[in-house]
Chains A and B, each alone.
Chain A
Amino acid sequence: MTKRNDTHESTEVPGDEGNPAPERGVNAALAELAASVRGFGAFQMNACVRCGLCADTCHIYRAEPDVANLPAMKASSITSVFRRYHTFLGKRLPGLVGARELTAERIDEIRDVVYGRCTSCGRCASNCALGVDLRHILQVGRRMCAVAGRIPEGLQRTVDNQLETGNQMAIPQEEFLSTTEWLSDDLKLEMGDDTLRIPVDEKGKRILYVINPREVKFFPLSLMAAAGVFHAAGESWTLSSKVFDVTNYGFFAGDEASARELVRRVAEEAGALGVEQIILSECGHGYRSFRWEGPRWLGREYAVPVSSVVELLDEYIECGRVQVDREKNAERVTLHDPCNLVRLGGLSEPQRRVLRKVTLDFVEMTPNRENNFCCGGGGGMLSMSEYGDRRVASGKVKADQIRATGAKIVATPCHNCADQLIELSKRYHLGVEIQAVVELVYNALC
């Protein structure tokens, strides 16, 4: 367990100073719970009737039908503590209503549930008969663990990387610059244009393109494809060599202070570069956290509009700014909907319009859009090796969905999902190739 970064807000609560660490953690977690259930949060906590209808809405429960994986049961690890400290019957007759004291051991149980048995995909919430947002309740659990200093080590390390180096993979600025340089060289050859280059730190451009660092490290073709499409569209754009990370592991960790800081840096960089718009690369949680949660964390709207690159691609094709030939993507393509982009981000159609225009044989998974299943790699799962087996096991639902389509290519506008899907393809022998939407657009350029 690593120590929380110095930039985090203090987890101390009044009267805590002399207590040993576990008690401090418990008190901090209780203070966080009290703050989180202010207002409507309390209603979320009170409304679940434990009907169990959420069971098979969860990909983790479907893959491993253990009661511990049942969404209402997972939420109960937090609501039972809520009842003990914040309800009339829970305070007086805890045994009757299943109200439980919060102890250091229970925080560890909560940690296993909220990080290891839930990807915060929100499918249980959107299918709940009563509209209870179980995902929100489990997110409160993550916040409690965060203030108690019980974020899983791998996830905490990623947050620390982001805060200390500016990106989750701790890529040095020199490496970033050299990668963009050789990508520029490759792109010149591919597109036959010697003037082509990937712009970095250029002021006064229309767009600041913020990417997932995995594009620099593992998926450079994705960044190259985006650069190629921007070039074809005659776009005025730039990357930032200092603040280029769209991901937000503070959001995954439940550490809102870090999440806010990461969002603030991108918003400020956009101001410093004087761009007119921020375009977020294909990243589900990056889109959700920056576009929707960011303004709430910062307490203000951004100075410039924010969109996903799939919206921009849709616009390019609709307006004829890029010409595409769908024959160039002749193999059957299906689409995986990242939960944070679609169900929790509200963006489901642009990527479909784009794929219909750039592929010859596009088929939908069943179910799809906001009812799609999580791939199993969400919620920061990929950074927590201790839950690796559960992550891959829970991906069986997604693997079955993919296999049923008969597709050869799975497009997904999220690099986290791409990582998980690549692993699922190997583990479940799917024999599919995983591509970003922008890669298919680039491949279809005339």
Chain B
Amino acid sequence: MQSVYYIVLVPMVYAALAVFILGTLWHGLRLIVGLKHALRVVVGPAKNPNMLRAVCDAFLSPATLKNHPVRWVFMVSFHIVLFLTILGHLELVGEVGVMQVVRHDVFLGGGILGILLFAGLLFFLFRRFHAPLAAMSEPGDYYLLILLLLIVLFGSQLHLAQRLFDYSTIGVAEYREYLSGILTFRPALPEVFTEDFVGHSFLLVLHVFCANLFLMLFPWSKLMHAILALPLARLRRR
């Protein structure tokens, strides 16, 4: 069991990061090369400055705000929560002074972010069971959402178990030791990660395993919209 834990927490993490980075870079290179073949896409009178408009299109989606204001609030809120959750993980690598401008305990949000994210993902998932999305959704659409739900579920449990139920000995110091080791290519698993195979460490392994799968799928799935939104918006404003 110890070796399974090790494989998930170390080699698989490196493999996932490699696939994620190289896959995304590969797409990025294709994108840069492809720009030369890009068609002119005129979608209305020229609006300048184009880059600023494109950033606005990609991150604020004014068209959605205009057409579906309620869904826009939900969509933007979900992405803000997602961004804050990713940001919160930085404090598990080391101290980030800037983030402590507003003093808080690690993890950011005190468990609220995970709950909001979980609720948002449930909404996106159940929405796909209803018309008209049910007819146009592919199996992969459901699997990706389920994978994300699992990541959030296990991640939230990691945090809430410790915070609310004093469930484990795995704390911020252990996460920092583990993650900084991964990032500096000196991987080391704190003893508490492997001293038992149930409870908190098991949740951690599940969380990391799902996250690894997510990273490996990212460059080959529609998740790439996170990278493509800005260049597509830029092309639209050409």
Question: Could you tell me which A residues sit within 8 Å of B by CB distance?
Answer: 38-44, 46-53, 55-57, 65, 67, 70, 72-73, 76, 87-89, 95-98, 122, 125-133, 136, 292, 296, 342-349, 369-370
Instruction: Provide the residues of chain B in CB contact with A369, threshold 8 Å.
Output: 44-45
Please measure, in the bound complex, the distance between the C-alpha atom of A190 and the C-alpha atom of B173, giving whole angstroms: 92
In the complex the two chains form, is A47's CB within 8 Å of B228's CB?
Answer: yes
Instruction: From the candidates B31, B44, B64, name the one contacting A40 in the complex (CB within 8 A).
Output: B31
Q: Which residue of B137, B222, B224, B235 has the most chain A CB atoms within 10 A of its CB atom?
A: B222
In the complex the two chains form, is B222's CB within 8 Å of A40's CB?
Answer: no
Give the 4 A-B residue pairs with the shortest CB-CB distance, closest first.
Answer: A39-B34, A370-B44, A98-B138, A39-B37
Instruction: From the candidates A55, A130, A296, A348, name the one contacting B39 in the complex (CB within 8 A).
Output: A296
Q: Would you mind naming 9 contact pairs between A and B with Cβ atoms under 8 Å apart?
A: A41-B39, A46-B222, A47-B225, A47-B232, A56-B67, A70-B136, A131-B57, A131-B232, A133-B43
In the complex the two chains form, is A130's CB within 8 Å of B225's CB?
Answer: yes
In the complex the two chains form, is B228's CB within 8 Å of A95's CB?
Answer: no
Chain B contact surface mostly: helix
In the complex the two chains form, is A39's CB within 8 Å of B45's CB?
Answer: no
Instruction: From the candidates B41, B45, B64, B141, name the one contacting A129 in the complex (CB within 8 A).
Output: B64
Instruction: Provide the residues of chain B in CB contact with A347, threshold 8 Å.
Output: 45
Q: Does B163 contact A (CB under 8 A)?
A: no
Please measure, in the bound complex, the distance between the C-alpha atom of A343 and the C-alpha atom of B225, giving whole angstroms: 24
In the complex the two chains form, is A127's CB within 8 Å of B224's CB?
Answer: no
In the complex the two chains form, is B228's CB within 8 Å of A130's CB?
Answer: yes
Question: Could you tell me which B residues sit within 8 Å of A by CB distance?
Answer: 27, 30-31, 33-46, 54, 57-58, 61, 63-64, 67-68, 71, 75, 131-133, 135-141, 143, 220-222, 224-225, 228-229, 231-233, 235-236
In the complex the two chains form, is A73's CB within 8 Å of B34's CB?
Answer: no
In the complex the two chains form, is A127's CB within 8 Å of B136's CB?
Answer: no
Please measure, in the bound complex, the distance between the C-alpha atom of A131 and the C-alpha atom of B231, giving whole angstroms: 9
A52 with B231, Cβ < 8 A, contacts A129-B75, A292-B42, A296-B39 known: no
Instruction: Identify the closest chain A residue to B230 (Cβ).
Output: A131
Please measure, in the bound complex, the distance between the C-alpha atom of A39 and the C-alpha atom of B36, giving whole angstroms: 8
In the complex the two chains form, is A47's CB within 8 Å of B38's CB?
Answer: no
Instruction: Identify the closest chain A residue to B135 (Cβ).
Output: A67
In the complex the two chains form, is B132's CB within 8 Å of A344's CB?
Answer: no
In the complex the two chains form, is B236's CB within 8 Å of A125's CB?
Answer: yes
Instruction: From the candidates B39, B44, B64, name the one contacting A343 in the complex (CB within 8 A).
Output: B44
In the complex the two chains form, is A87's CB within 8 Å of B220's CB?
Answer: yes
In the complex the two chains form, is B71's CB within 8 Å of A53's CB?
Answer: yes
In the complex the two chains form, is A98's CB within 8 Å of B139's CB?
Answer: yes
Please measure, in the bound complex, the distance between the C-alpha atom of A105 and the C-alpha atom of B34, giving whole angstroms: 31
In the complex the two chains form, is B68's CB within 8 Å of A346's CB?
Answer: no
In the complex the two chains form, is A131's CB within 8 Å of B233's CB?
Answer: yes
Q: Which residue of A43, A96, A97, A349 has the most chain B CB atoms within 10 A of its CB atom?
A: A43
Instruction: Identify the closest chain A residue to B224 (Cβ).
Output: A46
In the complex the two chains form, is B231's CB within 8 Å of A43's CB?
Answer: yes
Instruction: From the candidates B27, B34, B133, B229, name the one contacting A131 in the complex (CB within 8 A).
Output: B229
In the complex the two chains form, is B222's CB within 8 Å of A42's CB?
Answer: no
Please measure, in the bound complex, the distance between the C-alpha atom of A202 and the C-alpha atom of B133, giving whole angstroms: 59
Q: Which residue of B43, B220, B228, B231 has the most chain A CB atoms within 10 A of its CB atom?
A: B43
Please measure, in the bound complex, the distance between the C-alpha atom of A111 and the C-alpha atom of B67, giving whole angstroms: 29
Instruction: Provide the residues of chain B in CB contact with A55, threshold 8 Å.
Output: 132
